[in-house]
Amino acid sequence: MTGTTNASSSDEIKEMVEKAKQKVEEMDEERALEIFNKVLEKDPENYDALWNKSLLTTRKYYREDNEDVQLEGYGKALEIAEKTLELHPDKGHSHYVYAVAKGRYYELEGTRDMIEASHAIGEHVEKAAELIPDYAPVWHLYGVWHSDIANANRAERAAARLLSEGLPDDAEEDKAEKYLKKAIDMMPESILFRVDLAKHYRDIGKEDKAIEVLEEASTMEVTMMDDDDKKEEAKELLEELR
């Protein structure tokens, strides 16, 4: 009887996970987060529920305007990511959500903290790329990481020199472009990926390429959550560059 009960419970959890993923696709992330929380009540170590909860929590607080509220939320997402990584160290999404949450959290903590965190972020996104190479958001994050580090301004580099490790020395402009374009090829419907590629082109002085990418992004169909905001951002960037 116990075996039957366990099998039934396992099937129920799988159904709940699939329902939550469907809600994400339907752009109902709040409901998805509720379902993943219910999964974790039944199975506290569930891999899919843990990494999705961390990622959706990061996204939820990214939409907040108050930085103190954001920081608190990112801290929650990072705690969940740390638990995911501890329980499932050989899974790619564990490393991915850890890099995402850590990046968001330390971005608000200040330049010094972000410089120190940049090494760990790079290591974990690289590991995620090795484990889940078919997951487009990994290459987007890896591209943004390379762009941010390669284009760090003088003040940030001066601050980095005061730290023992400094900035990571393996970030490259060409890898930023390569990985961002790879993410777009894998997920062509993403407006976000194009906006970040355009920002990279802008930052390295290739404004013509940035304009070309933004013109495309600003006319794309909305298919993902936050696409409306990203389209508006694309239009604003176009106005600045023209």
pTM: predicted TM-score of the whole model, two decimal places? 0.89
The alpha carbons of the chain give a radius of gyration, in whole angstroms, of 19
The band of 101, judged by pLDDT with boundaries at 50, 70 and 90, is very high
Q: Share the mean pLDDT of the chain.
A: 89
The ranges of the chain annotated as CATH 1.20.58 are 190-242
Pick the CATH number of 190-242 from 2.40.10, 1.20.58, 3.40.50, 3.10.400: 1.20.58
CATH topology of domain 9-189: 1.25.40
The band of 1, judged by pLDDT with boundaries at 50, 70 and 90, is very low
Which tens digit of pLDDT belongs to each residue from 149-169?
Answer: 777 644 454 444 444 455 455
The band of 115, judged by pLDDT with boundaries at 50, 70 and 90, is confident
The ranges of the chain annotated as CATH 1.25.40.10 are 9-189
Q: What is the mean pLDDT of residues 98-120?
A: 84
The band of 112, judged by pLDDT with boundaries at 50, 70 and 90, is low
Residue 198 near residue 238 (C-beta atoms within 8 A): no
Which tens digit of pLDDT belongs to each residue from 39-82?
Answer: 999 999 999 999 999 999 999 999 999 999 999 999 999 999 99
DSSP state of 222: P
Cα dihedral 6/10/15/17 (nearest 10): 140
